[in-house]
Amino acid sequence: MSRTVLVVDDDARLRNRLCGFLRREGYDAHALPGGEALRGFLKDRPAHLVVLDLVMPGEDGLSLTRYLRENFTIGILILTGKGEPVDRIVGLEMGADDYLSKPFNLRELLARLRSISRRMDGAGTRAAAAGGGPSDASILAFDGCRLDIASRRLVGRDGIDIPLTGSEFNLLVALAGGSGRPMSRDRLLDAVGGRAWQPYDRSIDLHVSNLRKKLERDPKAPAIIKTIRGVGYAFSSPVESVA
């Protein structure tokens, strides 16, 4: 069954070109001009992936990213034509899985979409392997929280589900499965996105920051995910394999 991909961009020529390319690659691609069309589509049909322009008239890509992340389990690739890295950073903070700057190569866009799909479908096995932890463990418990790898759910101390992006989920599995060992950004980025870390790439730092806001009792004084200066990060809370 083909994956449904929504291409949301106010540039009709670009969105139609992307949809034509993705259909040739086996995707069920739909071209949408903006937020209203996106919301209308998702009322009636599910989608697996969204390619979302960051700057559009009316509701912009950041607002739509927040809406998608709060209401759907869906992979989000944002497109930006701006050169300032702050645009990409804010997009990742809002919950996007990856970003791509215009102009871009169509094969790179395809590779990034496939990478997001693998992360969503992997149920944490790649992340667990990267962390060195037991990839066959189905539930990991730490600091009153429970991470269900099979169902990709994180249940907080109060018993309420904590929503995670696909990248945050895989990063958490990698860290929790690391047995407290320091893990480099390169290794974590491989677990999260299957691509090598580049200098000035802040995506892992941003995902860690978002996880801390969701997990830590005091995100400004993190006790679960520790920063290891000059190396990366380590999971400092004891982890128990429940099942």
Instruction: Give the domain ranges of the chain.
Output: 4-121, 125-241
125-241: CATH architecture: Orthogonal Bundle (1.10)
At residue 134, the pLDDT reads 42
At residue 201, the pLDDT reads 56
Q: How far apart are alpha carbons 23 and 6 in whole angstroms? A: 11
Assessment of whether the complete model's pTM goes beyond 0.85: no
Q: Which of 107, 120, 123 is nearest to 50 (CA)?
A: 120
pLDDT, averaged per 10 consecutive residues of the chain (243 residues), comes to 88 94 95 94 90 88 85 86 64 79 90 83 48 58 90 90 84 85 82 53 81 93 92 91 73
What is the helix (H) or strand (E) element at residue 101, kind and residue range?
A: strand 98-101
CB atoms within 10 A of CB 101: 15
Class of 4-121 in CATH: alpha beta
At residue 125, the pLDDT reads 45
DSSP characters over 34-83: SHHHHHHHHHH---SEEEEES--SSS-HHHHHHHHHHH---EEEEEE---
| 3-state secondary structure at position 7 | strand
| 3-state secondary structure at position 186 | helix
